[in-house]
Chains A and B, each alone.
Chain A
Amino acid sequence: DVKVTQSSRYLVKRTGEKVFLECVQDMDHENMFWYRQDPGLGLRLIYFSYDVKMKEKGDIPEGYSVSREKKERFSLILESASTNQTSMYLCASSLFGSGTGAFLGNSPLHFGNGTRLTVT
Chain B
Amino acid sequence: AQKVTQAQTEISVVEKEDVTLDCVYETRDTTYYLFWYKQPPSGELVFLIRRNSFDEQNEISGRYSWNFQKSTSSFNFTITASQVVDSAVYFCALSEAPIKAAGNKLTFGGGTRVLVKP
Contact = CB atoms under 8 A, between A and B. Distances in A.
B43 interface: yes
B103 interface: yes
Nearest to A50: B102
Given A104-B103, A106-B103, A113 B52 contact: no
Interface residues of A, number: 35
Taking each of A31, A35, A103, A112, which has the highest tally of chain B beta carbons within 10 Å of its own beta carbon? A103
Given A103-B33, A106-B33, A42 B103 contact: no
Interface of B is mostly: loop
Contacts of A16: none
A30 B98 CA distance: 14
Interface of A: 30-31, 33, 35, 40-45, 48, 50-51, 56, 58-59, 88, 90, 92, 94, 96, 99, 102-114
